[in-house]
Amino acid sequence: MITQRTCALFAIALAGAGMAGCSSKDDTPTSGANTIAVTATDTACTVATAQSPTGKVTFKVTNKGSKVNEFYLYGPNDKVFGEKENIAPGLSADVHVDVPAGTYQTACKPGMVGDGIRAAFTVAAGGATAPVDPDLAAAVTTYDTFVKAQSALLLTRTTAFVTAVKAGQIAKAKALYPTARDPWERIEPVAEIFGDLDPKIDAREGDTEPGTPWTGYHRLEKDLWVDGNVSKSGPIADQLLLDVKTVVAKAAQEKLVPLQLANGAKELLDEVATGKITGEEDRYSHTDLWDFDGNLGGSKAAIDALRPALLKRNPELVKQVDAGFARAQAVLGKHRAGTGWKLHNTLTKAELKELSDAINALGEPISKVAAAIR
């Protein structure tokens, strides 16, 4: 989960290493009748049209404001059909979606806070229906199997973690914390579809909306590492397990489309590049590299599912993506510690820069996958 403070923390924490500032850019060109321009500022979100026929749609979002912005396409109950976070001032980003007929809302979030500047958006029946691509259909099936397996693991590991917290077994709970989060980090793009469940499970301190209680993994992380006292953490632990069960149940019923795989693969890398690298994600336990590994693994699973389709459309892009994954995994592998990872606060600025460079290099070809399968 990316927060409004991430870009600032990223710049402050790593400026000494000469690392690039937080930005959002997709150089992949888009064209066609279903490309819709969006101009985002600090006070407005101007969408060129409030409707589109069914089929694939690309929102080309340009941030002309002074704040980092986000763009979302919401369905009923704030279900997320498409999103792009961390669109820096002066930059543009493409949001590729494939949605059925229905009523939606577009939203820009200046400063990446609040419910956003919203407007009604309608997808009307009658758009061109593309023939079903068997490779893309198979990709969704493959990825769905991955999500179900990770969901089961998430439930098992979170149950064990919650049990340890409620039993007051602090050392055991600390050991279980990063491994419980690993499957969550692998499938977080799917979990983020379901409205407020992602912040309930994964929000950091200070990132919840006013009046909303802070719950989830990071609340328990603070109880364990800062307070060293979980005697009053039982209700938070129970709520976490309940929310995880809800995500698992919803994920099992969700019908994904190929663009969601491509978008999710990029979102996971963006989380690493702008959140995990700074140490903000697990600021109390410093177990960020477990999350880093989970995000990287989840991104690769989505790309692997799309591989047969991508090989037919753009084999050169597949080579670039594979080389990027190999490099990123090799750099991360330098920081293995037993069966886990080194703590984030033990890495040098040079080591963090090497990790950042590797993940940003991988992000470039990954950003082109959505356009390649449209």
Specify whether 144 is located in the same domain as 117.
Answer: no
User: Is 10 within a domain?
Assistant: no
User: Is 148 within a domain?
Assistant: yes
Mean pLDDT of all residues in 154-169 = 98
pLDDT for residue 2: 45
84 pLDDT band, cuts 50/70/90, is confident
pLDDT for residue 7: 44
Mean pLDDT of all residues in 59-78 = 93
Nearest CA among 259, 271, 335 for reference residue 297: 271
Q: What is the DSSP string of 128-176?
A: --PPPPHHHHHHHHHHHHHHHHHHHHHHHHHHHHHHHHHTT-HHHHHHH
Least confident stretch, 17-21, 88-92, 337-341: 17-21
CATH number of the domain encompassing residue 217 = 1.20.1420.20
**SS3 state of residue 335:** coil
CA 296 to chain centre: 11
Tell me: pLDDT of 275 over 80: no
Could you read off the pLDDT of 343-365 as tens digits, one per residue? Answer: 999 999 999 999 999 999 999 99
Among 102, 124, 146, residue at a domain's last position: 124
CATH number of the domain encompassing residue 58 = 2.60.40.420
Tell me: pLDDT of 19 over 90: no
Tell me: pLDDT of 131 over 90: no
Specify whether 138 is located in the same domain as 90.
Answer: no
Residues 6+ away with beta carbon under 8 Å from 349: 14, 16, 17
Nearest CA among 255, 259, 295, 256 for reference residue 369: 259
Domain count, the chain: 2
Q: Which domain holds residue 72?
A: 31-124
Specify whether 186 is located in the same domain as 92.
Answer: no
Specify whether 120 is located in the same domain as 179.
Answer: no
Specify whether 291 is located in the same domain as 203.
Answer: yes
Specify whether 199 is located in the same domain as 286.
Answer: yes
Please state, in angstroms and rounded to a whole number, the distance separating the CA atoms of residues 61 and 59.
6
Specify whether 98 is located in the same domain as 162.
Answer: no
Tokens standing for residue 52:
């589109």
Q: What is the DSSP string of 227-259?
A: I---TT-HHHHHHHHHHHHHHHHHHHH----HH
Could you read off the pLDDT of 298-315 as tens digits, one per residue? Answer: 999 999 999 999 999 999
Specify whether 335 is located in the same domain as 189.
Answer: yes
pLDDT for residue 113: 83
pLDDT for residue 127: 57
Specify whether 156 is located in the same domain as 241.
Answer: yes
Least confident stretch, 1-10, 69-78, 258-267, 272-281: 1-10
Specify whether 178 is located in the same domain as 326.
Answer: yes
1 pLDDT band, cuts 50/70/90, is low
Among 91, 124, 157, residue at a domain's last position: 124
